[in-house]
Structure 1
């Protein structure tokens, strides 16, 4: 997420001097490539990388239409990403993710809901910036571009839901002792709960937050 600040700062300073059609095309292609390329990935790191590319496409589109909208989207994206990785900070391997269910079912469930929010699933917070961008595009007569961006977001949402399904719904109801890692300790920080709540429950405050940016 922090790697986006440098190019976004450059775009903020130069977006008035760039061709808007080219910018919208680049944003659409970034969203399409990030979504479709992530479908064949099995590693979480690669999935998050392609998801970041897709989100960058939405940010480019937003900054072309309205810089304040791009600011709101970046704030929401940073909040959701932080909430996603706070519970995962103590997990180093995929085995840790699997063993987190018997240790802390609530934390794992909240993490998976946050992942779906990162994918933009309504009515979670992650849907807010996409909703505003689609609304802005539709109000300016760019219905085709709005439809293509909406279709481009479906692959990202699919592999986030698939990740949640493989982590939660395929976990057996009872576990054996061999699934536990004796050195794995699930720790929590005091910021985890507020960040998860912000990343999932802010959709009703959309217009209030948009008017503040």
Structure 2
């Protein structure tokens, strides 16, 4: 039943509704109920009886999310009991923040995230990296501990950058890239929720949609597949533009939201945090350039007769995405004039 398209569309519709329930609730229990519905409806989407890796990933996801939900429920119950005990506020805020960070796959609770990503399809990876972060992020903004979140931001950008250096799996590499982006999203939501929403829409949904869409239609999961398939020069250039945009390199559109966050951090005199985030972004760009280098420089002669064709509609979409990425500096300049 779960393999049919109609049932998956139904579960995805309930998944969206569960997010709306959680973020529109006016009580902690309402948020917890929305999170549980979200968990129970995402499991059928990622589970596949014909794929052992997907089944293992769904089980790991269920266990980690259940632990985070139990921790969150215990925290809100403890908060109600110790409402007048101000000495426990710091401890409770860290417990609630840790629960949401575990649900997002943030450091130091990130160990489950790359392993689960490796067992999922590209479309399920896209949902896990984007939509599944919305509810925990908004709940985190209700009751976050500033000093604790600043420490988590630094850990996210460092581990997300260093963890992707020795990866050959594209799904694991994108998982560590997502951990690095999570540090930027946490810094954005500390400044303003509107800035976090702008970052999510401009960076995560747009850039990840293109990259994941390309890997999905090409059925690619490892770096060596990028040079074993003889791609056309125009597709290679499109990949170059979009990978550099995903890394946040100017003049591409991926640099635009990072530029805004850097400006706000400098205005608030957070120079050390800004320095760490910029330097780790350079490391992320390094393993994106490594992928691009594999595409442009390597050639697998044994299967040179193999040609890769992409449908015209898909290719037109790729060109539109690339043009929008390349116009990022023009948009950024007009915004700050």
TM > 0.5: yes
Could you tell me which residue of structure 2 aligns to residue 149 of structure 1? 277
CA separation of 1:176 and 1:33: change in aligned 2, threshold 3 A: closer
Could you tell me which residue of structure 2 aligns to residue 187 of structure 1? 311
Could you tell me which residue of structure 2 aligns to residue 80 of structure 1? 207
Gaps of 5+ in 2: 1-125
Say whether the 8 Å CA contact 1:79–1:199 is kept in structure 2.
no
Does 2:185 align with 1:54? no
Say whether the 8 Å CA contact 1:83–1:199 is kept in structure 2.
no
Does 2:244 align with 1:119? no
Return 56-65 or 194-203, whichever deviates more.
194-203
Give, in whole Å, the separation in 1 of the partners of 2:144 and 2:274. 20
Say whether the 8 Å CA contact 2:242–2:325 is kept in structure 1.
yes
Q: Output the aligned Cα RMSD.
A: 2.4
CA separation of 1:96 and 1:180: change in aligned 2, threshold 3 A: farther
Say whether the 8 Å CA contact 1:99–1:181 is kept in structure 2.
yes
Gaps of 5+ in 1: none
For residues 82-140 of structure 1, what are the alpha-carbon distances to aligned partners after superposition, in whole Å with 9 as ceiling and x for unaligned? 12233333322444654333xx2101211122111111111111111111111110001
Give, in whole Å, the separation in 2 of the partners of 1:52 and 1:97. 24
Give, in whole Å, the separation in 2 of the partners of 1:19 and 1:154. 28
Could you tell me which residue of structure 2 aligns to residue 99 of structure 1? 229
Say whether the 8 Å CA contact 1:121–1:127 is kept in structure 2.
yes
Give, in whole Å, the separation in 2 of the partners of 1:84 and 1:177. 27
Could you tell me which residue of structure 1 aligns to residue 290 of structure 2? 162
Give, in whole Å, the separation in 1 of the partners of 2:301 and 2:159. 41
